[in-house]
């Protein structure tokens, strides 16, 4: 009689983790499952998504491991959920009354790992296209989370994928190259006061990151002094936050996602003014920021470099900045 086998693959996304199981959960493999889940909790994971799409069967002991882990997760304010169970596991869950405990569906189900990773869609930012079946449902359940530098590094590829997909196929995609996005993130992460927020269901649906610039000198390292003076003169503000990037999933709620992200980032960095710099030919980017409540202050001339950046501002109080 051949022994059953269970391969376990874990992928971390900040404080969340996706555990993909391949094989069967039985007497010989239950200890492996228990050890894997316990390690997730020891590592401080707050959401454990277990993908059963490639699991052929699970016995009562395996179910007991999942239920015990779910109860333990609840005691430390974490959650454990299973996704894509086969027919045998579904019957086991229903027969034992465990379905409601382990199959509480999140707003956007975790896609099977075997299908190629996260479900992503591409569309131009300011539009409100009708939701396609493969788009995450964003009606409820979106949470904002501030990442540490280390967590930002762990999620950088997922966030870059989201940013690239949001402009894929548009005429302005050249100004949102994936490599450039990663470079901006890496540079901004080393500035004093760096902050990065993600909006997420079970996948990232938006992000915003930036750094504060103040009259006392915070955030000035590496920031062009002439540009600083111009922005302070344009806005009549000595302190502001440079939002290096705001990305929102191109769904009907993208405006709400973006507004919540930028409002929270400005609040966290104790500023009432946001500033972003865009390429003057990036019409899609300018349109997106305008739809999120930003004001276009025009191009800043006289700076080093071949292109005069376009300055856009956002006032938390909702008062437009007067041009000077």
* pLDDT tens per residue across all 324 residues of the chain: 445 688 888 888 777 888 988 888 988 888 889 888 888 888 888 899 998 888 889 998 899 889 988 888 888 788 899 988 888 998 898 888 888 889 854 434 444 443 333 222 222 333 333 333 334 434 446 778 888 888 888 888 888 888 877 765 555 555 567 788 888 888 888 888 899 998 876 667 889 999 998 765 455 444 566 777 788 888 888 889 998 888 887 655 667 888 889 999 999 998 999 999 888 888 878 888 888 889 988 887 766 667 788 889 998 764 444 443
Distance from CA of residue 265 to its chain's centroid? 14
Q: Are strands 195-200 and 143-147 parallel, antiparallel or unpaired?
A: antiparallel
**Using H for helix, E for strand and C for coil, what is the string for 193-252?**
CCEEEEEECCCEEEEEEEEEECCCCCCCCCCCHHHHHHHHHHHCCCCEEEEEEEEECCCC
Say what the pTM is. Answer: 0.54
Taking the C-alpha atoms of residue 139 and residue 57, their distance in angstroms, rounded to an integer, is 34
């Amino acid at each position: 009689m051949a022994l059953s086998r269970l391969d376990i693959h874990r992928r971390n996304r900040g404080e969340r983790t996706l555990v993909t199981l391949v094989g069967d959960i039985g007497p010989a493999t239950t200890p492996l499952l228990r050890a894997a889940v316990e390690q997730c909790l020891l590592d401080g994971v707050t959401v454990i998504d277990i993908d059963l799409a490639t699991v052929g069967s699970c016995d009562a002991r395996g179910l007991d491991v999942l239920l015990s882990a779910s109860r333990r997760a609840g005691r430390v304010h974490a959650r454990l959920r299973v996704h894509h169970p086969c027919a045998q596991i579904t019957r086991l869950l229903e027969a034992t009354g465990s379905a409601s405990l382990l199959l509480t569906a999140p707003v956007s189900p975790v896609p099977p790992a075997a299908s190629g990773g996260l479900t992503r869609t591409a569309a131009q930012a300011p539009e409100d296209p009708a939701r396609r079946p493969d788009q995450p449902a964003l009606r409820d359940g979106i949470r904002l989370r501030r990442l540490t530098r280390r967590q930002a590094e762990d999620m950088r590829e997922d966030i870059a994928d989201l940013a690239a997909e949001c402009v894929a196929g548009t005429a302005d995609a050249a100004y949102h190259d994936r490599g450039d996005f990663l470079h901006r993130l890496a540079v901004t992460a080393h500035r004093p006061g760096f902050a990065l927020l993600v909006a997420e269901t079970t996948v990232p649906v938006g992000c915003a990151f930036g750094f504060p610039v103040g009259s006392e000198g915070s955030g000035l390292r590496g920031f062009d002094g002439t540009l600083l003076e111009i922005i302070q003169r344009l806005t009549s503000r000595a302190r502001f936050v440079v939002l290096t990037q705001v990305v929102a999933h191109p769904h009907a709620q993208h405006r709400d996602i973006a507004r919540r992200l930028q409002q929270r980032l400005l609040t966290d960095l104790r500023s009432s003014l946001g500033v972003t710099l865009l390429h003057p030919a990036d019409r899609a980017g300018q349109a997106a920021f305008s739809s999120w409540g930003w004001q276009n202050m025009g191009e800043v001339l006289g700076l080093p470099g071949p292109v005069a950046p376009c300055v856009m501002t956002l006032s938390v109080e909702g008062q437009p900045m007067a041009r000077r």
